[in-house]
Amino acid sequence: MNIALGTIPFGTTVGEDDSFAILDRFFEAGGTMLDTANNYPFWVEGRSGDESELTVGAWLAARGNRDEVFLSTKVGARPTIPGDTTLDSAEGLSAPVVARAVEGSLRRLRTDYIDVYWSHIEDRSVPLDETLGAFDELARQGRIRSAGASNVSAWRLERARSLSVSRGWLPYTYVQLRHTYLRPRPLTRPVESGHVLATDDMLDYVNAEPDLTLWAYNTLMAGSYTRPDRPIPEIYDHPGTARRLAVLHEVSSELGATPNQVVLAWLIADGYVPIVGVSTMAQLDEAIGAADVKLDDELRTRLGAPC
Ligand SMILES: NC(=O)c1ccc[n+]([C@@H]2O[C@H](COP(=O)([O-])OP(=O)(O)OC[C@H]3O[C@@H](n4cnc5c(N)ncnc54)[C@H](OP(=O)(O)O)[C@@H]3O)[C@@H](O)[C@H]2O)c1
């Protein structure tokens, strides 16, 4: 199943038993890709940011299935001041930070390797060489198997990949950004600090690079496609959105699928990996159902018409 499961609420708003049940159902349905970070959810009052990794680690240990899971976690955006709920004191991406952070993640996740290790943010105060060299060192030690960059601009990602290749280092082969079916208005920025949108330029770059895979977050906009209690974020407020939503609803009813499922199927058909964040079994089942929704060329053309 080409869908990754996000784990932000696991161990906090979703307790351990419910988290285990969601992880079990995802795994039984053929899901293998998990996404966490060394700081989820530090922005919630009273939380350290260890909770998500600890819960995923406890589940992996309880089920003994580490080698059947494709595990990803991140470094760079953990606060260095305990209790700071902003990114102002983020640890960044210096070599000592990367070397130390991976130990914490491996311990909490109860494993000795990470399948994709992401730089969570850009840290322009550190030379790219230093960060990329630190990632490469972890690969040589067998602690990480591949590298990804999250919340990065297209030019920096291209520069980083070229640099790694020229040095014979492990290059970033994954990129994680905010991306969904609706397109944002130009020159807007998400209100969530740290979120970076997949620009047209970035999508063009990803599509041109066969060894680069996009994992998309906020794919269902926290439920806004279907929930009246979740207004569509302001960054999508432009005339094209109404047209895209109309086509989305038409296609959903033609296929007998939900709009959320068509959004996920659309991203998968583009070759991207949608990350889904769920807090209930019903939400998970709806997402899993998207793996069976097939969009033929005609439907993809209709859905993808310029807006
Ligand atoms: N790299 C980064 O910087 C970054 C940033 C953000 C997220 N992420 C990753 O992406 C994952 C997903 O996070 P997200 O917040 O962006 O995801 P999202 O899909 O935008 O929102 C998840 C929330 O949407 C609601 N929802 C999910 N499925 C639904 C459905 N079928 N019907 C109605 N409502 C539904 C639920 O809200 P309720 O729980 O309130 O019901 C759920 O908790 C995270 O766990 C994390 O792994 C990465």
Domain ranges of the chain: 4-303
Distance set, CA 52 to CA 15, 166, 235 (Å): 10, 36, 28
**CA distance linking residue 16 with residue 20, whole number of Å:** 6
Crossing angle of the two packed helices 128-140 and 154-167, in degrees rounded to 10? 50
Among candidate residues 40, 113, 174, 205, the one labeled active-site is: 40
Residue-level pLDDT at 214: 98
218, 262, 264: residue to mutate for ligand 1 pocket, most atoms within 8 A of CB:
218
Are 120 and 152 a contacting pair, CB within 8 Å? no
Residue-level pLDDT at 104: 98
- Amino acid 99 reads A
Q: Domain 4-303 has what CATH class? A: alpha beta
Cα(212) to centroid of ligand 1, in Å?
23
**CA distance linking residue 155 with residue 21, whole number of Å:** 41
40 a catalytic residue: yes
Give the number of the atom of ligand 1 that is nearest the alpha carbon of residue 196: 3
Residue list, ligand 1 pocket, CB within 6 Å: 6-8, 35, 150-151, 176, 194-195, 217-223, 226-227, 260, 275-279, 283, 286
Residue nearest to atom 31 of ligand 1 (CA): 283
Cα(44) to centroid of ligand 1, in Å?
15
Return averaged pLDDT per consecutive 10 residues of the chain, 307 residues in all: 97 97 98 98 94 98 98 98 94 98 98 98 98 98 98 98 98 98 94 94 98 98 97 96 97 98 98 98 98 96 90
Residue nearest to atom 13 of ligand 1 (CA): 277
* Nearest Cα residue to 251 out of 307, 190, 293, 306: 293
Tens of pLDDT, residues 237-277: 999 999 999 999 999 999 999 999 999 999 999 999 999 99
| DSSP H helices in the chain | 16-28, 51-63, 95-109, 128-140, 154-167, 200-208, 239-255, 259-269, 281-289, 297-303
Ramachandran angles phi, psi of 263, nearest 5°: -60, -45
